[in-house]
Amino acid sequence: MLNPQNTLDTYYLEARRDLLEVAAMLDRYDEAVKRDGSKAENESKKDSLLKAMEILAQPDHPDANRAEQLLDHFAKIS
């Protein structure tokens, strides 16, 4: 079992990469909106990602199982 510092050191770069991927996808969406002059007909997937980031941004809490919260959130999206 890793201690807190080793956990951060081990998984930080991978998590940072994944967050950059989400940011890049949202930037590509924004550029497409600018280029086409209109938003997607159904933005529920974009809104779902933004809500997921809100879940991740919640302050530390001993019972905050973020992975479970995200699984529950994405299970509700059709």
Asked if residue 29 and residue 18 are part of one domain, the reply reads yes
pLDDT in tens, the chain (78 residues): 999 999 999 999 999 999 999 999 999 999 999 999 999 999 999 999 999 999 999 887 777 789 999 999 999 886
Asked if residue 17 and residue 33 are part of one domain, the reply reads yes
Asked if residue 34 and residue 44 are part of one domain, the reply reads no
Asked if residue 74 and residue 46 are part of one domain, the reply reads yes
Asked if residue 60 and residue 47 are part of one domain, the reply reads yes
Quote the pLDDT of residue 49.
96
Asked if residue 51 and residue 31 are part of one domain, the reply reads no
Number of domains in the chain: 2
Q: Please name which of 51, 59, 55, 61 lies closest in space to residue 26, comparing C-alpha atoms.
A: 51
Quote the pLDDT of residue 63.
76
Distance CA 78, CA 24 (A): 23
57, two tokens: 């941004």
Q: How far is CA 30 from CA 23, 43, 55, in A?
A: 11, 12, 22
58 is in which domain, residue-wise? Answer: 40-78
Asked if residue 49 and residue 33 are part of one domain, the reply reads no
Prediction pTM value: 0.84
